[in-house]
């Protein structure tokens, strides 16, 4: 696997409460650490993969630093309590973009995702910039050529840019082109997008692709039932779901450590309410958290928020057939 390496085992550590009770467990004690990329050894588990890359962020003129994100999220996740679902987590290491092109790094992640998915693993990826999404989605489409796959993106940005090169702003346009080239439906829902952060050209592209867009100004507690209904419609029309969360969908005061902090954003309590039915649908096949940039974190606040989202996804993740 190009540019793959196992996670440093020292990352997974935390408080030991076993003297208190045999079930006083934390993530670092129940997660499986693999020193080899062997997805065939872990069917029906959740493969935790890191994508150490922010080349797409740089090409999109954003603040670099997301390549450091995966291990920082791991450290924040390690000490959280382990409950149902967390024992399914298997750390299958990182893919780095060092000394290779962005296209090569994305192909490596896509291949790793496909390898996991065809061996009955689900994939939880820590980015990296949102260029992670093209690689993650591409691997999923390749693993399930006969299935109708839906993308639900929680993001302040539509990420449908037109560019001669892949960037963190192009992943869903790239996936739309892949679907067109392979006669596959493109089902894309973006929740929390900011009209102030997306040009009319991007809005027009979303309309052309018949994407479902739920703007940040619509994401209010008072509209929770309507929001659930819209997301349910996205779930109902597909076989499998790829959930991607760009952490800049959160307000800047909750998530300062991203390339483009959101002045409005969707608070984490509302975000959690909206992802819960996705995780519990039995259709969630892949998920990722992207754009976390440790150089801009404040007292580890952003890492803790990202880790809590990862914790909740794994806890709520109902596998098909359960």
| Residues near 220 by beta carbon (within 8 Å), at least 6 away in sequence | 270
CA angle, residues 245, 108, 4, in degrees to nearest 5: 95
246 annotated among ligand-binding-site residues: yes
The CA distance from 100 to 97, in Å, is: 6
288 annotated among ligand-binding-site residues: no
The CA distance from 82 to 25, in Å, is: 6
CA distances from 117 to 110, 125, 141, 218, 284 (A): 10, 13, 10, 34, 12
| Cα of 41 vs its chain's centroid, Å | 23
> C-alpha dihedral over 262, 268, 274, 277, to 10 degrees?
140
Q: Which two tokens stand for residue 214?
A: 């739920």
44 annotated among ligand-binding-site residues: no
Is the separation of the CB atoms in 42 and 87 below 8 Å?
A: no
Q: Which residues are annotated as a binding site?
A: 130, 155, 157, 159, 246, 248
Annotated binding residues for Mn(2+): 130, 155, 157, 159, 246, 248
């Amino acid at each position: 696997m190009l540019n793959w390496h196992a996670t440093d085992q020292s990352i997974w550590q935390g408080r030991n409460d076993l003297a208190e009770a045999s079930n006083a467990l934390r993530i670092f004690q129940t997660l499986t650490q693999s020193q080899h990329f062997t997805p065939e050894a872990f069917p029906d588990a959740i493969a935790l993969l890191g994508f150490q890359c922010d080349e797409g962020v740089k090409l999109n003129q954003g603040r670099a630093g997301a390549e450091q994100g995966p291990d920082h999220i791991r450290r924040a996740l390690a000490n959280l309590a382990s409950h149902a679902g967390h024992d399914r987590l298997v750390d299958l290491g990182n893919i780095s973009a060092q000394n290779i092109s962005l296209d090569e790094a994305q192909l490596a992640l896509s291949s790793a995702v496909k390898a996991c998915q065809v061996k009955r693993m689900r994939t939880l990826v820590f980015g990296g910039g949102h260029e992670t999404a093209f690689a993650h989605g591409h691997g999923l489409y390749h693993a399930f050529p006969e299935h109708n796959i839906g993308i639900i993106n929680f993001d302040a940005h539509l990420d449908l840019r037109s560019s001669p090169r892949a960037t963190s702003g192009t992943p869903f346009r790239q996936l739309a082109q892949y679907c067109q080239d392979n006669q596959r439906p493109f089902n894309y829902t973006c929740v929390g997008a900011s009209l102030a952060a997306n040009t009319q050209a991007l809005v027009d592209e979303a309309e052309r692709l018949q994407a479902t867009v739920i703007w940040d100004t619509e994401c209010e507690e008072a509209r929770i039932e309507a929001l659930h209904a819209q997301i349910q419609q996205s779930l109902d029309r597909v076989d499998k779901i790829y959930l991607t969360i760009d952490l800049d969908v959160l307000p800047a005061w909750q998530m300062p450590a991203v390339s483009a902090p959101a002045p409005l954003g969707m608070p984490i309590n509302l975000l959690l309410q909206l992802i819960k039915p996705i995780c519990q649908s039995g259709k969630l096949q892949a998920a990722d958290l992207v754009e976390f940039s440790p150089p801009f974190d404040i007292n580890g606040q952003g890492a803790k928020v990202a880790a809590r989202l990862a914790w909740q996804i794994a806890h709520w993740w109902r596998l098909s057939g359960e």
